[in-house]
Amino acid sequence: MAGGNNSETNENHQKAAQTLIEEGDECVKASKFNDAIEKYNEAIKLNRDPLYFCCRAAAYCRLEEYDLALQDCRSALEIDDKCAKAYGRMGLVFYHQNRYDASLEAHETALALDPFYMLDENYKSHLDVIKEKVGEAQNFCATLFGGTGEVSDFSDFMNNEYVMQAAMQMMKDPNMQNRLESMMEQFMGGSAAAGESFGELFAAGKNMAQQMQQANLELLEQLRDRFASTSVFEEGHQQIEDSSSAENSQHSE
């Protein structure tokens, strides 16, 4: 009898969880992402379905809470390591973080697990954008370090978005951040050591380019805000538009 009660309770929990998921999806469609997350939270408490974590990951993406979204993707894969949707969501997270190689790998894994995965036009378009960005980065590396391996045009080098993205990744290191800030202060202040600092900045820039695949755009904006008066950082950087933002709010794809 007890076993029958447990079975009935589980079934009721599953039904209630599905209802909460559907309500959360409606919140997403209405751009009420925090409300959606609350619904998904309650659903997950009742039923730890990996797809529910994927729903919440999509909502987190809409709020630009990418670390939380990535955590949900990994939670889903801990439950079901063959969950194609979890890899797809992970690819979306990496895309927003400008980690294009990782995004491409995640999407290709999703496709390998579910051949019908990329039939959705949003995902196909998204994948095309990722491949294009990866190709641009690879071409830039080949151009930058081809032949003698030296940078021929400092202006082009410093104004290339991939170099700037690499700069941001390196700026996550507090030691590197302090060093570059000191160099920029000397350069902007016109001190006697300015020429020396400029040379160090150039050398550091070449090192940054080698890490461009690990780029992060967030710190680029911080650098540009801080050093907007210098000629090194120019205006006009364009953010990559998310070709699959509408897909985030869909649970049934």
Higher pLDDT, 11 or 122: 11
Q: What are the tens digits of pLDDT across the range 226-237?
A: 444 333 333 333
How far is residue 167 from each of residues 3, 79, 202, 205, 222, measured CA to CA in Å?
59, 36, 12, 7, 11
Question: What residue has token string 């995004």?
Answer: 103
Higher pLDDT, 221 or 172: 172
The DSSP symbol for 198 reads: H
- In this prediction, residue 34 carries a pLDDT of 98
Task: Report the share of the chain in percent with pLDDT over 70.
Answer: 47
CA distance 109 to 88: 8
Read off the pLDDT of each residue in 14-34 and give the average, rounded to a whole number: 96
pLDDT of 40 higher than 80: yes
Q: Give burial (CB, 10 Å; 0-12/13-18/19+) of 7.
A: exposed
Residues in the chain: 253
What is the amino acid identity at position 224? Answer: R
Helices and strands (DSSP H and E) totals, the chain: 12, 0
Higher pLDDT, 65 or 123: 65
pLDDT of 250 higher than 90: no
- In this prediction, residue 20 carries a pLDDT of 97
For residue 101, name the pLDDT band (cuts at 50, 70, 90). Answer: confident
How large is the angle between the packed helices 33-46 and 50-62, nearest 10 degrees?
160
> What is the topology classification, in CATH, of domain 2-134?
1.25.40
- In this prediction, residue 116 carries a pLDDT of 78
pTM of the model: 0.56
Question: What residue has token string 């009742």?
Answer: 46
CA distance 75 to 94: 16
In the chain, where the domains are located: 2-134, 151-226
Beta-carbon contacts of 235 under 8 Å, excluding residues fewer than 6 positions away, are 224, 228
Q: What are the tens digits of pLDDT across the range 166-212?
A: 566 665 666 666 666 665 565 555 444 444 445 555 555 545 544 44
